[in-house]
């Protein structure tokens, strides 16, 4: 099974990702909780890569991604733009999106 890890440049920082599998099903793109959590709690979904590509990433400020200290960055708009960049760079046109416990009122 194919697995790759890397970083995606994003607004002068880096967003870390892990992509597992290359199955024919619609890719599963996973968003961890937070802010401040990581992809680790979602690694239990990796066995789904037998059927579909599974993509995990650490949002800016979390886990293996850059951790800028500018508090003005932490907006819903930033995280939506980061998600769009992850999709574009990894060629994820159509996805099943699994979001987990962000806990913000937007």
Query: Is the predicted pLDDT of residue 23 greater than 70, yes or no?
Result: yes
Band of residue 103 on the pLDDT scale cut at 50, 70, 90:
low
pLDDT > 60? residue 85: yes
Q: What mean pLDDT is predicted for residues 61-90?
A: 94
Strands 96-99 and 25-31: parallel
- Which pLDDT score, from 0 to 100, does residue 102 have? 64
pTM of this structure:
0.90
Could you read off the pLDDT of 24-52 as tens digits, one per residue? 899 999 988 776 788 888 888 899 999 99
pLDDT at 106: 46
pLDDT at 67 over 90: yes
Report the 3 state secondary structure along 62-93.
CCCCCCCCCHHHCCHHHHHHHHHHHHHHHCCC
pLDDT band at 8; cut points 50, 70, 90: very high
Q: Which CATH superfamily is 3-99 part of?
A: Alpha/Beta hydrolase fold, catalytic domain (3.40.50.1820)
Q: Which range, 7-11, 41-45, 74-78, is most confident?
A: 7-11
């Amino acid at each position: 099974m194919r697995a790759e890890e890397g970083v995606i440049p994003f607004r002068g920082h880096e967003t870390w990702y892990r992509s597992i599998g290359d199955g024919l099903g619609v890719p599963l793109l996973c968003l961890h909780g937070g802010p401040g959590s990581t992809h680790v709690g979602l690694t239990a979904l990796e066995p789904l890569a037998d059927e579909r590509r599974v993509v995990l990433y650490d949002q800016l400020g979390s886990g293996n991604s850059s951790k800028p200290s500018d508090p003005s960055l932490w907006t819903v708009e930033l995280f939506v733009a980061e998600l769009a960049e992850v999709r574009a760079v990894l060629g994820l046109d159509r996805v099943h999106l699994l979001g987990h416990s962000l806990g913000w009122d937007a």
